[in-house]
Structures are given as C-alpha cells and as structure tokens.
Structure 1
C-alpha cells in the first residue's frame, strides 16, 4: 500500500512541479497573461506562485509535511481558478470555453488536494515512505 500511495503522490504533483518550473523560468512571459487578468505586480506574483507550486509539489512527493504541501496546492488551485480563469467575464465564446475548462480543472485539482490533505492529516503517521508525519492531525 505504501508504494501505491507514493506512486500516486508523485503522479499527482507532476503537473504542479512542471508548472513551478515554468513559473520560475518563464516568469516574464507568464507575467503578461497574469497582468492581463488584472493581477498587480504580475512578475512577482508569477514568481511567488512558482515557489508555492514547487514547495507544495516537493512536500507532497517526498512526504515532508505532505498535509501542508497539499494545502499549499489547494490554495494555489482555488485562487488561480478565481483570479486567472474568470470565464464569466469572457465575451469571446472560444476564450470563454477555454477559461471555463481551466477554471473547473483548477477546482477539481484543488478538491483533490483537499482530499490528499485530509488523507495525510488523518492517516499520515501510519503511512510509510514519508520523510515526516503530518504537521496537523485530524485523527
């Protein structure tokens, strides 16, 4: 069971880890889109979100207070959904459809991150293949 949880953790964070790398290495390019969504200090916001994504991904993948890492990823997903993918404001039907897809993808990933948070906060001490147990405890 421990190996399956580890594989699931690693597969879950692949998207977040690659996004973190993009946020940190392509921040100027990403800042244009971020600014177009009305986010102030766009380059700083892209870099900060890259750090959040990277910290959350590493935390969940290696099991270093994975519950807190999952909360970081959930917070990123929910804020990105609302701040970056406001499909309700789009006039162009294609842009609206694309933003709606990203919005619901972020909601789903945020929900999955909350499930992972609860899983680690509840059963984290009983899981193997972790660097630390959970920082918080629900069980």
Structure 2
C-alpha cells in the first residue's frame, strides 16, 4: 500500500512532541505517537517522512509502542514484489495514552518522594 498523501508535522505537533519529551518520553517515540494520533493509519515510510525520523528510529519507537500495547499493526500487500507493508494505527485514543502516562509519572514521583523521606530519616538518626 502506498499513501497518496503524507501528513507532515505542524508547529502544534512539534509542541506536543516537545511536551512529551519534557516528561521523559524519548524523542522518536514522542514524534511517532503524535504523528499517529493525528492520522488514521500510516506506514513506516509515511512516519519517516512526516516526522523527519530515520528508519531505525521509527522501528525502535514502534517496538516500544507495541510493548505498551498502544498500536495495532496490519499488513498490506506491497505494490511491487517483496515484503508486505505494515500499516500502523493507535490502538487507544491519545487521551487514554496520556492518562496512562500520567499514572506512571505520578507513581514514579511518589516513589522518589518516598526515597527522599527515607534519606531524611537516615540523616536524622545519625
């Protein structure tokens, strides 16, 4: 399957990707997530062109998103001979994904605050 039109990043997309990067999501994952949130489906090649990422960066991001169960994959026969083309879509809404990220970040913050409290207790007992 070959896409007739490739969607390119807008300044708003860049801003959202930067916000995701700011909370600790890797750059390539952030860009792919934002790209897929704004298109119904895309091939790896569409994502590469639309996000200005290289093929290995897209592959690594896809692996991470698949592990998180945030994307669905299907195959479409290639126009030429060779491997079928993989088509990607988000398996959850971007809002659900943001909710998951928020829960994870709150859990991490609580854990770090607990560690700080334990350090304070250790210091005060010396």
Q: Same fold (TM over 0.5)?
A: no
Find the structure with the greater CA-based Rg: 2
Structure number with the higher helix fraction is 1
| TM value normalised by structure 1 | 0.27
Bigger strand fraction? 2
TM-score (norm 2): 0.29
